[in-house]
Amino acid sequence: MQVVLARIDQLLKAFLDWISRRPGLSAAFLIAICLAFYLPGSASLPVTDRDEGRFTQATKQMLETGDFIDIRNQDEPRYKKPIGIYWLQAVSVSIFSPDELTQIWAYRIPSLIGVIAAVLLTWWAARPIFGQPTALLAALLLAGAFTLTLEARIAKSDGVLLAFTTLAMGALARIYLFDKKRQDMVAIAALFWIALGLGILIKGPIAPILAALTVTAIIIFDRNRSWLKNMHAAWGIPVMLVITLPWFISIGVVSDWEFYRLALGEDFFEKLHSGKENHWGPPGAYFIVFWWSFWPAALVTTGGAALWLWRRKFTRRTLLLLSWIIPFWIALEVTPTKLPHYSMVVYPAIAMAAAWVLREATMAGQVAMRTYRQAAAIWLFVGALQLIFLLFLHIWFLIAPSFWLLPVLAVIVALSLATVRASWFGYFHAGIGLALVTAFLLYLAAFKLVMPAIDPIWISRQTAEVVNALRPCISSPVVLTRYREPSAVFLLGTDTRILSAEEANKALSAGSADIALLEKKTADKLPLVDPTPRPIACIDGYNVNQGKQLRLQLMTARPESAFTACQVPERYRCR
pLDDT in tens, the chain (575 residues): 788 889 998 999 999 999 999 999 999 999 999 999 999 999 999 999 989 999 999 999 999 999 999 999 999 988 888 999 999 999 999 999 999 999 999 999 999 999 999 999 999 999 999 999 999 999 999 999 999 999 999 999 999 999 999 999 999 999 999 866 566 789 999 999 999 999 999 999 999 999 999 999 999 999 999 899 999 999 999 999 999 999 999 999 998 888 888 777 666 666 555 555 556 678 889 999 999 999 999 999 998 899 999 999 999 999 999 999 999 999 999 988 888 899 999 999 999 999 999 998 887 788 889 999 999 999 999 999 999 998 888 888 877 767 778 889 899 999 999 999 999 999 999 999 999 999 999 999 999 989 998 999 999 999 999 999 999 999 999 999 999 999 999 999 999 999 999 999 999 999 999 999 999 999 989 998 989 999 999 999 998 888 889 999 999 999 999 999 999 999 999 98
* Residue 240, amino acid: M
**460 and 449 in one domain?**
no
Q: Residue 306 domain-assigned?
A: yes
**372 and 326 in one domain?**
no
CB atoms within 10 A of CB 265: 10
pLDDT at 265: 67
Q: What CA–CA distance (Å, rounded) separates 81 from 79?
A: 6
Q: What CA–CA distance (Å, rounded) separates 5 from 7?
A: 5
If we measure between CA atoms, which residue out of 198, 107, 190, 193 comes closest to residue 152?
A: 107
Q: Residue 120 domain-assigned?
A: yes
**130 and 201 in one domain?**
yes
Output the furthest CA–CA distance in the chain (Å, rounded).
Answer: 83
Is 138:352 a contact under the CB 8 Å cutoff? yes
Q: DSSP secondary structure string, 292-355? A: HHTTTGGGG--HHHHHHHHHTTTSHHHHHHHHHHHHHHHHHHHSSB--GGGGGGGHHHHHHHHH
User: End of a domain among 313, 333, 364?
Assistant: 364
Q: What CA–CA distance (Å, rounded) separates 428 from 193?
A: 38
CATH of the domain at 500: 3.40.190
Q: Which burial class, exposed, middle or buried, applies to 408 when counting CB atoms under 10 A from its CB (0-12, 13-18, 19+)?
A: middle
**449 and 461 in one domain?**
no
- Residue 535 pairs in a beta bridge with 555
**526 and 448 in one domain?**
no
User: Which residues, at least 6 apart from 62, have a Cβ–Cβ distance to it below 8 Å?
Assistant: 68, 71, 86, 90
**557 and 424 in one domain?**
no
**Helix (H) or strand (E) segment spanning residue 77:** strand 76-77
In degrees and rounded to multiples of 5, residue 557 shows phi and psi of: -110, 5
Q: Residue 460 domain-assigned?
A: yes
CA atoms within 13 A on the CB side of 194: 9
DSSP structure class, residue 199:
H
DSSP structure class, residue 315:
S
**320 and 237 in one domain?**
yes
DSSP structure class, residue 156:
S
Q: What CA–CA distance (Å, rounded) separates 251 from 262?
A: 12
**293 and 411 in one domain?**
no
**407 and 286 in one domain?**
no
Q: Residue 14 domain-assigned?
A: no
If we measure between CA atoms, which residue out of 271, 338, 284, 325 comes closest to residue 81?
A: 271
pLDDT at 395: 83
User: End of a domain among 453, 470, 493?
Assistant: 453
List C-alpha distances in Å: 548 to 84, 95, 280: 35, 39, 21
pLDDT at 268: 63
If we measure between CA atoms, which residue out of 294, 434, 427, 417 comes closest to residue 372?
A: 427
Q: Residue 448 domain-assigned?
A: yes
Q: What CA–CA distance (Å, rounded) separates 138 from 349?
A: 9
Q: DSSP secondary structure string, 454-493? A: -GGG-HHHHHHHHHHHHGGG--S--EE-S---HHHHHHH-
**411 and 356 in one domain?**
no
Q: How many domains does the structure of the chain reveal? A: 3
**444 and 520 in one domain?**
no
Rg over alpha carbons for the chain, rounded to the nearest Å, is 26
**424 and 486 in one domain?**
no
User: Which residues, at least 6 apart from 418, have a Cβ–Cβ distance to it below 8 Å?
Assistant: 1, 5, 434
Q: What CA–CA distance (Å, rounded) separates 421 from 407?
A: 21
- Residue 337 pairs in a beta bridge with 280
pLDDT at 546: 80
Q: Residue 25 domain-assigned?
A: no
**Helix (H) or strand (E) segment spanning residue 115:** helix 104-130
Tell me which residue range forms the domain holding 402. Answer: 368-453
User: End of a domain among 364, 397, 418?
Assistant: 364
How many residues in the chain? 575
pTM for this entry: 0.95
How would you classify the pairing of strands 479-480 and 516-519? parallel
pLDDT at 281: 74
DSSP structure class, residue 48:
P
User: Which residues, at least 6 apart from 532, have a Cβ–Cβ distance to it below 8 Å?
Assistant: 509, 557
Q: What CA–CA distance (Å, rounded) separates 417 from 435?
A: 10
If we measure between CA atoms, which residue out of 388, 395, 403, 377 comes closest to residue 299?
A: 377
Q: Residue 550 domain-assigned?
A: yes
Task: Compute, in degrees rounded to 10, the torsion defined by CA atoms 59, 60, 61, 63.
Answer: 90
> What SS3 state is found at 316?
helix
pLDDT at 289: 93
Q: What CA–CA distance (Å, rounded) separates 73 from 67?
A: 13
Q: What CA–CA distance (Å, rounded) separates 473 from 199?
A: 46
Q: CA angle, corner 107, sides to 102 and 110, nearest 5? A: 170
- Residue 534 pairs in a beta bridge with 556
Q: Residue 34 domain-assigned?
A: no
Helical ranges in 144-257 per DSSP H: 146-151, 158-177, 185-203, 206-221, 233-254
